[in-house]
Amino acid sequence: MKKEKALVWFRRDLRDHDHAALSAALAGAQQVYCAFVFDTEILDALPSRRDRRVHFIRESLLELDAALRKKGGGLIVRHGKAGEEIPALARELGVSAVFSNRDYEPAAKQRDVAVARALEADGIEFHTFKDQAIFDGDEVLTQAGKPFSVFTPYKNAWLKRLTVADSAVWPCTGQLASSDLSSVPTLTEIGFETTDLAEVGIQPGMAGARALWDEFRDGRITRYGALRDFPAVKGVSYLSVHLRFGTISIRELVRAALAAEANVWLSELIWRDFYFMILDRFPHVVGHAFKPDYDAIRWADWPEGFAAWCEGRTGYPLVDAAMRQLNFSGWMHNRLRMVVASFLTKDLGLDWRLGERYFAEQLNDFDLSANNGGWQWASSSGCDAQPYFRIFNPITQSEKFDPDGKFIRRYVPELAKVPNKYIHAPWLMGRIEQEAIGVVIGRDYPGPIVDHAKAREETLARYAVVKKAV
């Protein structure tokens, strides 16, 4: 028997289609209301009032509200502590159940437990659904019944378990309930400012996701494996911010990857599930190494080095170009994320948590699970991480993945006239040649902040404490 009234609480799932919680609510209740909360516990912690992610969310909510109105409803948007706003709204609307999709971050899980208790005290049910992952909970375990900590066996088990039903569409047909409470506040009303989303090429919402996805699916998905490592080439999907905020369904992407036999692309989607699982099952990774022995490493205390890394003036062109891309656009190519993370931890000897925090502030697509997983992988402290003695050489990475310096010249324009022979290590140019092209190292562009070979030896010594412990 259908419930009379229900409320769908949108969070990281800003779409009106293939939506688990919305589908379940429409199937289980006669009247369905929809809500989103600009959670002040999250917003108040942001370092800037000019945050592209908040702007992205707000623009996506406008589109979502319009889509829900076409179904007869609309989006009720509140601004406050979500743990208080949702129970209060549920009481105000007189619903008997709240439907939402699961989140795997520790703070979100704690919030949801508090919401469930508050709702229960009012006699209101709280139902959560798997939506942003293909598998969660106990669905993919080792033969011993434990969570995986190594990716490849996890991937194999994931693929073995996968059925057509796991990536099937959640239908969201039916009439929603209208409410005079429905409205989307302006950025000013929630204390934020308009940003440069359009200038950096970001189209929010379902329409933005659809445009990127159609182009990638129809043109590049089968070539992803060959193109994905070259930052000057249009080879990746650029969908990460849309996956982060759920303006596109992960199930649709998996279906397409399987249909196209795009196995490399599919592996990246499985990595996403893997890191969700790690965060869900091993929450100590927030602030601590997945492998506890790595917390014994004594990192360098070098604020000037960290500042140079943040600002893209390390003297290593590919590292600097990557950091400047991040600072300009809020996005960084995945290959470059690995390069700059390795450089911070193993060339500069700085704590991976410094880089993780800087990325968290800068990335439009910031996702705690993937960001933490990536940084711990680079620093060798994480699950299935690269060995501590594997240290990316920023020069050979540059030569291999930006051979003509096209990406470097875009983001480090002061090196535009440097010949290809020297673009990856411009300090190797002679002084006469530097003067001739107007690029004097130390004046127009910094010399290398560290010597990579020497830094490598220091890193091996720094990690020796771990080698002894493991």
Structure tokens at 377: 């992988």
Q: Does position 438 have pLDDT exceeding 90, yes or no? A: yes
Q: What is the mean pLDDT of residues 101-117?
A: 98
334 is catalytic: yes
What does the mean pLDDT of the chain come to? 96
Q: Does position 470 have pLDDT exceeding 70, yes or no? A: no
pLDDT tens, 33-42? Answer: 999 999 999 9
Which one of 170, 309, 331, 352 is the catalytic residue?
Answer: 352
Could you say which architecture CATH assigns to the domain 3-131?
A: 3-Layer(aba) Sandwich (3.40)
Residue entry with tokens 């010594």: 461
268 is catalytic: yes
Q: What is the mean pLDDT of residues 169-197?
A: 95
How far apart CA 94 and CA 92 sit, in angstroms, is 6
Which amino acid does the sequence have at 36? F
Question: Residue 1 has what pLDDT?
Answer: 65
Which one of 9, 170, 271, 331 is the catalytic residue?
Answer: 271
Q: Does position 385 have pLDDT exceeding 80, yes or no? A: no
Which one of 9, 170, 213, 375 is the catalytic residue?
Answer: 375
Given CA atoms 437, 440, 445, 450 in this order, what sign does their dihedral have?
positive
Q: Max Cα separation, the chain?
A: 84
> Looking at the DSSP assignment, which residues form a beta bridge with residue 469?
none
Question: Residue 272 has what pLDDT?
Answer: 98
pLDDT: which is higher, 384 or 273 = 273
Percentage of the chain beyond pLDDT 90 is: 95
92 is catalytic: no
Q: Does position 298 have pLDDT exceeding 70, yes or no? A: yes
Question: Residue 468 has what pLDDT?
Answer: 59
Q: Does position 331 have pLDDT exceeding 70, yes or no? A: yes
Fold of 132-167+204-281: 1.25.40
Phi, psi of 127 (to 5 degrees): -115, 130
Q: What are the sequence ranges of the domains in the chain? A: 3-131, 132-167+204-281, 292-469
Q: What is the mean pLDDT of residues 160-173?
A: 97
Which one of 268, 309, 331, 371 is the catalytic residue?
Answer: 268
Which one of 41, 139, 302, 334 is the catalytic residue?
Answer: 334
pLDDT tens, 43-87? Answer: 999 999 999 999 999 999 999 999 999 999 999 999 999 999 999
Please state the three-class secondary structure of the chain as a single string: CCEEEEEEEECCCCCCCCCHHHHHHHHHEEEEEEEEEEEHHHHCCCCCCCCHHHHHHHHHHHHHHHHHHHCCCCEEEEEECHHHHHHHHHHHHCCCEEEEECCCCHHHHHHHHHHHHHHHHCCCEEEEECCCCCCCCCCCCCCCCCCCCCHHHHHHHHHHHCCHHHHCCCCCCCCCCCCCCCECCCCHHHCCCCCCCCCCCCCCHHHHHHHHHHHHHHHCHHHHHHHCCCCCCCCCCCCHHHHHHCCCCHHHHHHHHHHHCCHHHHHHHHHHHHHHHHHHHCHHHCCCCCCHHHHHCCCCCCHHHHHHHHHCCCCCHHHHHHHHHHHHHCCCCHHHHHHHHHHHHHHCCCCHHHHHHHHHHHCCCCCHHHHHHHHHHHCCCCCCCCCCCCCCCHHHHHHHHCCCCHHHHHHCHHHCCCCCCCCCCHHHCCHHHHHHHCCCECCCECCCCCCHHHHHHHHHHHCHHHHHHC
* Residue 467 confidence class, pLDDT cut points 50, 70, 90: low
Which one of 125, 215, 252, 299 is the catalytic residue?
Answer: 299
Question: Residue 344 has what pLDDT?
Answer: 98
Q: What is the mean pLDDT of residues 365-393?
A: 91
pLDDT: which is higher, 22 or 390 = 22
Query: CATH class for domain 292-469?
Result: mainly alpha
pLDDT tens, 316-330? Answer: 999 999 999 999 999
Up-side HSE of residue 161: CA atoms within 13 Å toward CB?
17
> Looking at the DSSP assignment, which residues form a beta bridge with residue 6?
32, 97
Question: Residue 382 has what pLDDT?
Answer: 87
Question: Residue 182 has what pLDDT?
Answer: 84
Q: Is 261 exposed, middle or buried (0-12, 13-18, 19+ CB in 10 A)?
A: exposed
299 is catalytic: yes
Question: Residue 347 has what pLDDT?
Answer: 97
Question: Residue 466 has what pLDDT?
Answer: 81
